[in-house]
């Protein structure tokens, strides 16, 4: 595939890219990981600037992109939205045009409020003349999901996930309003590579209807499937990959006390060694991190041999670099 053709392309959802384009991004990620490990220079974006706008906190995403941009020979400029005019309501269109005129890419995290972040990014993308990268919105977390897929490929030696049962499960955390973007992003991506995805969740924690309709359509095209169950054990049974994490109940966003009370009804939705025993013998445990230790997962599991969470977190760097290099003209 012609890598130059990616120049200027937005990356707002994996669904916006073809399976072949995503595969190319994975190939680039693999090359850049080897170059990083071997200390080989890979300054694909010399003197380029990425503006990174954050409306929420971050450890992995900010630092993977910031360090990654340095390693590519450019500069990632961090913008705390709360200290910019974005906090005063500056139009996304105006901001996109202006920052686009100062640099070569804009990356945005806007994930806290259902209905806002993805629409905001699409508005910026319509106006800006540089690529827009979604660092997590209300719908999707596509820079996380491509790192997840890279990790699965590294572990099992293939990105053809045909016949592989992957369980994305809700898990308990005593916290409020976590985005639905990770489970939704996994549903949008993995079945396109053939995965048999099972989403396990209590009845109140349904994912967004429109997103799931899109995920089912994409799954049908890719040869994978999606089923939903309301029992964590049933989800784990025979799964080759388990990805248990907390997310918020959409109907309770803005109702913190009710949301916390609902979560507390499902404290037994934890990934522990008993549940890992229900999964396939060679299964792996994944989490985008940060994990809520002792609630979502036991230390025994997250620190155990089946856990790949640190490899998964490291792959945020390599995949982030691949996405920046491709979309910002590193191969053009
Ligand atoms: N997984 C992830 O996006 O981590 P951060 O919130 O720390 O960026």
Ligand 1 atom closest to Cα of residue 313: 1
Q: What is the pLDDT of residue 59?
A: 98
Ligand 1 atom closest to Cα of residue 109: 8
**Atom 7 of ligand 1: nearest residue by CA position:** 59
In a mutational test of the pocket of ligand 1, which residue from 59, 308, 315 has the highest number of ligand atoms less than 8 Å from its CB? Answer: 59
The answer on pLDDT for 105 being more than 90 is yes
| Average pLDDT value for residue range 173-178 | 88
Confidence of residue 177 (pLDDT cuts 50, 70, 90): confident
Ligand 1 centroid to Cα of residue 61, in Å, is 5
Ligand 1 centroid to Cα of residue 2, in Å, is 31
Residue pLDDT, tens place only, 215-250: 999 999 999 999 999 999 999 999 999 999 999 999
Find out whether the beta carbon of 315 lies less than 6 Å from any atom of ligand 1.
no
Find out whether the beta carbon of 137 lies less than 6 Å from any atom of ligand 1.
no
What does the H/E/C string look like for the chain? CCHHHHCCCCECCHHHCCHHHHHHHHHHHHHHHHHHHCCCCCCCCCCCEEEEEECCCCCHHHHHHHHHHHHCCCEEEEEEHHHCHHHHCCCHHHHHHHHHHHCCEEEEEECCCCCCHHHHHHHHHHHCCCCEEEEEECCCCHHHHHHHHHHHHHHHCCCCCCCCEEEEEECCCCCCCCCCHHHHHHHHHHHHHCCEEEEECCHHHCCCHHHHHHHHHHHHHHCCEEEEECCHHHHHCCCCEEEEECCCCHHHCCCHHHHHHHHHCCCCCCECHHHHHHCCCCCEECCCCCCCECCCECHHHHCCCCECHHHHHHHHHHHHHHHHHHHCCCCC
Find out whether the beta carbon of 60 lies less than 6 Å from any atom of ligand 1.
yes
The answer on pLDDT for 304 being more than 90 is yes
Residue pLDDT, tens place only, 46-62: 999 999 999 999 999 99
Ligand 1 centroid to Cα of residue 254, in Å, is 22
Ligand 1 centroid to Cα of residue 31, in Å, is 23
Return phi, psi of residue 144, to 5°: -75, -45
What's the pTM value of the predicted model, to 2 decimals? Answer: 0.98
**Atom 6 of ligand 1: nearest residue by CA position:** 58
| Average pLDDT value for residue range 308-331 | 98
Residue 278, Ramachandran bin (φ over 0: left; ψ between -120 and 50: alpha; else beta): alpha
Residue pLDDT, tens place only, 187-217: 999 999 999 999 999 999 999 999 999 999 9
In the chain, the domains with their CATH numbers are 3-141+315-327 (3.40.50.1370), 144-312 (3.40.50.1370)
The answer on pLDDT for 122 being more than 90 is yes
Residue pLDDT, tens place only, 307-316: 999 999 999 9
- Averaged confidence pLDDT in the chain: 97
Ligand 1 centroid to Cα of residue 294, in Å, is 19
Ligand 1 centroid to Cα of residue 121, in Å, is 18
| Average pLDDT value for residue range 119-147 | 98
Ligand 1 centroid to Cα of residue 186, in Å, is 15
Find out whether the beta carbon of 61 lies less than 6 Å from any atom of ligand 1.
yes
The answer on pLDDT for 176 being more than 90 is no
């Amino acid at each position: 595939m012609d890598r130059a053709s990616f120049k200027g392309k937005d990356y707002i959802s994996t669904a916006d890219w073809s399976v072949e384009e995503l595969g190319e991004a994975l190939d680039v990620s693999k090359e850049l990981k080897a170059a990083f490990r071997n200390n080989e220079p890979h300054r694909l974006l010399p003197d380029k600037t990425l503006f990174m706008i954050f409306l929420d906190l971050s450890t992995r995403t900010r630092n993977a992109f910031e360090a990654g941009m340095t390693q590519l020979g450019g500069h990632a400029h961090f913008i705390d939205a709360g200290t910019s005019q974005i906090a005063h309501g500056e139009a996304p269109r105006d901001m996109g045009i202006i920052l686009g005129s100062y640099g070569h890419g804009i990356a945005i995290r806007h994930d806290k409020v259902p209905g806002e972040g993805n629409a905001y990014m699409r508005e910026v993308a319509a106006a800006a003349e540089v690529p827009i990268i979604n660092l997590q919105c209300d719908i999707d977390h596509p820079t996380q999901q491509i790192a997840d897929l890279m990790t699965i490929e590294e572990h099992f030696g293939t990105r053809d996930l045909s016949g592989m049962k992957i369980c994305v499960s809700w898990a308990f955390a005593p916290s409020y309003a976590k985005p639905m973007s990770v489970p939704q992003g996994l549903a949008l991506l993995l079945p396109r590579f053939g995965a048999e995805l099972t989403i396990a969740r209590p009845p109140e924690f349904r994912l967004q209807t429109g997103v799931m309709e899109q995920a089912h359509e994409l799954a049908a095209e890719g040869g994978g499937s999606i089923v939903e169950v309301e029992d964590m054990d049933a989800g784990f049974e025979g799964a080759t990959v388990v990805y248990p994490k907390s997310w918020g109940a959409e109907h309770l966003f803005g109702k913190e006390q009710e949301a916390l009370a609902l979560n507390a009804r499902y404290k037994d939705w934890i990934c522990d060694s008993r549940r890992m025993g229900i999964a396939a013998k060679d299964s792996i445990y994944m989490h985008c991190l940060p994990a809520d230790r002792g609630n979502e997962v036991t230390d025994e599991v997250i620190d155990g041999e089946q856990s790949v969470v640190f490899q998964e977190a490291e792959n945020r760097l390599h995949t982030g670099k691949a996405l920046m290099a491709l979309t910002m003209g590193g191969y053009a």
